[in-house]
Structure 1
């Protein structure tokens, strides 16, 4: 089967998030049985390539983060026409969510929804992106999403939608061996203030820095690094904040496994893959109590605190940080919890949905008959 995936974000792009990692992990596993082409937003240094049996094609202009996204969304419906496919998979993506692909093609379509936060982006950019999200949800009939919360949101807007919940996964458990516990607190993710809430984390860390032996390690890349550095300096903790850059593979699990705690201060999330990766590495997670993270941070594996309350976040860090026995207990529970998020099984489940969509479309054409 030829699959055209409107993947939006290349996992090799600086600042890319967990959604692009999910796409790469699934696509490379099913590429042995299907021909997969992924259309991604262009960026400086991007090239058309084949990686792990998957073809990646940059679309649009490499003009910086937001301009490149605009050019991608404007051009991708037209570029998609040039690629033959039995199935078109549309990834809902920031900032507008959907390019309304069912309007542009008669081929079978499937929406993969890892993200439904266009209202936040509408407020951020003062543009009505949420209208595209609303229409996209209503136009599509088949969906894959990553959480029960997201499924409920889709059904609230489109009661006819068929939604399969297939979570994200973690890499090979061999990448997350038992490691000696360090003293640092770790943030891992895109360096973006509006969504990821790093400003809230810095403020909370500043309140408890005198009680914390280690540093705050910020790993990842993204558009807001300079703003984060400026904020840390303004809070007087620049000397206690380390930037580790983008980390992947074994290095990522080494960082997570040696951390005392991993903190996810996100204002909104799609799934929270970093939480699962931290738990797989045996490290407890402290996060805000927001819908998606409730499903991936059980009470015996970490702490959820009232959303966006900096004082509560700081207090949770201060309470758990010195309690190494409790941290070890949570770490063991986290490793066990993370076993269910296996990429091989997840890829097979998503492949089955792809095949079901194509079979249903073929059956519909046969019922209609010629003409």
Structure 2
């Protein structure tokens, strides 16, 4: 039995939690079923609860109730080294999830245990521009302190090797929730976005601009599902653009409700400026709904020709044209069928097996060379 202390940052039960926490839990619960002993340290949030879920122990850490987003981050960063010191004697391997805004806390320097990084987020340079802080320097420095990493896409893996040519990178992607296969593909009326409501990362400004151009050529509405820091800004943008009758905000969706929304849509749009994998896109394909996205590295891996369409990055006019063109395209049923076949290759059980092997290899390598 391997004892794993996972520095997971986001709790999957936290409202607005991203796809990273989904991946963490889906992998960890399968590892727990194989006999791994796993504890995940996460941030606190309103309603937080220490618990065992699907065999995985969750311990939210901090000082308060986690109501404030910024303080939640600061409290986690300050508390994490202390919590690791308290628990490392009972851990064989420490796993550090990279998280915003600086990716890594350079955990191998202070855990005093064999430490592996899991990289689902590597966008500190964008945050550096947003906050006018040298966050990308922290990211670069921290990546160079790791000797073994798991990346969720080849694009992220390539970026990690650029930052640290000596690092060993295993590429292990994300999987499709089995609940996605319970939905029957259907040709819906609406265009759907699901994700964190964040302008810079998720490209909501680009999406609203494109929708304003093409909505008169589309019968359905634009449905936006999710929560996030820019929700008020998004609502104001929709009102100012005169789109209140053509855009509906659905709030946070999860489980069967999320997969019904994906299946009911005519198209799913992913206007992100950057992604590390694109879990929403692969979930959409699994439910039989084609995807339109910008042609960026990580999305290019999971939206091949025949299951969706890639648009010149951040070209609002081209994105609008693609929505109107594909909305009316005959034969979407064949595209949906091909998308389901492609998504079937993203199996959580196989991915968990691959991650278990990566953990064993990392423990052997990091123990024998330390």
CA contact (8 A) 2:180 2:259 kept: no
User: Which residue of structure 2 lines up, in the alignment, with residue 66 of structure 1?
Assistant: 70
Distance 1:157 1:299 in 2: 31
- Which residues in structure 2 correspond to 1:116-155 (within 5 Å)? 116-155=122-161
Kindly provide the CA deviation profile for residues 40-65 of structure 1, in whole angstroms up to 9, marking residues without a partner as x.
11111112111111111112241411
Distance in 1 (alpha carbons) for counterparts of 2:258 and 2:268: 12
Give matches, 1:150-161, under 5 Å: 150-161=156-167
C-alpha distance in 2 between matches for 1:213 and 1:160: 53
Q: Map 1:339-354 onto structure 2 (within 5 A).
A: 339-354=344-359
Question: Any conservation in 2 of the 1:15–1:223 contact (CA below 8 Å)?
Answer: no
Q: Is the 8 A contact 1:187 1:262 kept in 2?
A: yes
Deviates more, 1:62-71 or 1:171-180: 171-180
- The 5 Å alignment of 1:173-322 reads 175-322=181-328
1:46/1:58 contact within 8 Å kept: yes
TM-aligned CA distance change 1:241 to 1:174, over 3 Å: closer
Give the 3-state SS of the residue equivalent to 2:130 in structure 1. Answer: helix
Question: Are residue 53 (structure 1) and residue 55 (structure 2) matched?
Answer: yes
Q: State the SS of the aligned residue for 1:14.
A: coil
Q: Per the alignment, do residues 52 and 198 of structure 1 end up closer, same or farther by CA in structure 2, a change over 3 Å counting?
A: same
Pair 1:101 & 2:107 matched: yes
Tell whether 2:341 aligns with 1:336: yes
In structure 1, distance between residues paired with 2:70 and 2:334: 43
| CA distance in structure 2 between the aligned counterparts of 1:180 and 1:112, rounded to whole angstroms | 36
After superposition, the C-alpha distances for 1:232-277 in whole angstroms (9 at most, x for unaligned) are 0011001211122222222222111111000000011110011100
**Residue 18 of structure 2 aligns with which residue?**
17
CA distance in 2, matches of 1:66, 1:194: 17
Q: Structure 1 residues 309 and 337 mapped into 2: Cα distance closer, same or farther (>3 Å)?
A: same
What TM-score comes out, normalization by structure 1 length? 0.95
- Tell me, yes or no, if the aligned pair for 2:102 and 2:139 is still in contact at 8 Å: yes
User: Which residue of the partner structure matches residue 2 of structure 1?
Assistant: 3
SS in 1 for 2:96: strand
* Aligned-partner Cα distance in 1 for 2:82–2:315: 45
CA contact (8 A) 1:119 1:129 kept: yes
Q: How far apart, CA to CA, are the structure 2 residues paired with 1:362 and 1:45?
A: 39
- Structure 1 residues 26-37: aligned runs within 5 Å: 26-32=27-33, 33-37=35-39
CA distance 1:263–1:176, change in 2 (3 Å): farther
1:75 lines up with 2:76 in the alignment: no
TM-score by length of 2: 0.95
CA distance in 1, matches of 2:313, 2:131: 23
Alignment gaps of 5+ in structure 2: none
Tell me: CA distance 1:239–1:89, structure 2 relative to 1, closer, same or farther (3 Å).
Answer: same
Q: Distance in 2 between matches of 1:67 and 1:175?
A: 39
Structure 1 spans left out of the alignment, 5+ residues: 366-371
CA distance in 2, matches of 1:191, 1:208: 21
3-state SS of the aligned residue for 1:73?
Answer: helix
Q: Give the superposition deviation at 1:362.
A: 3.9
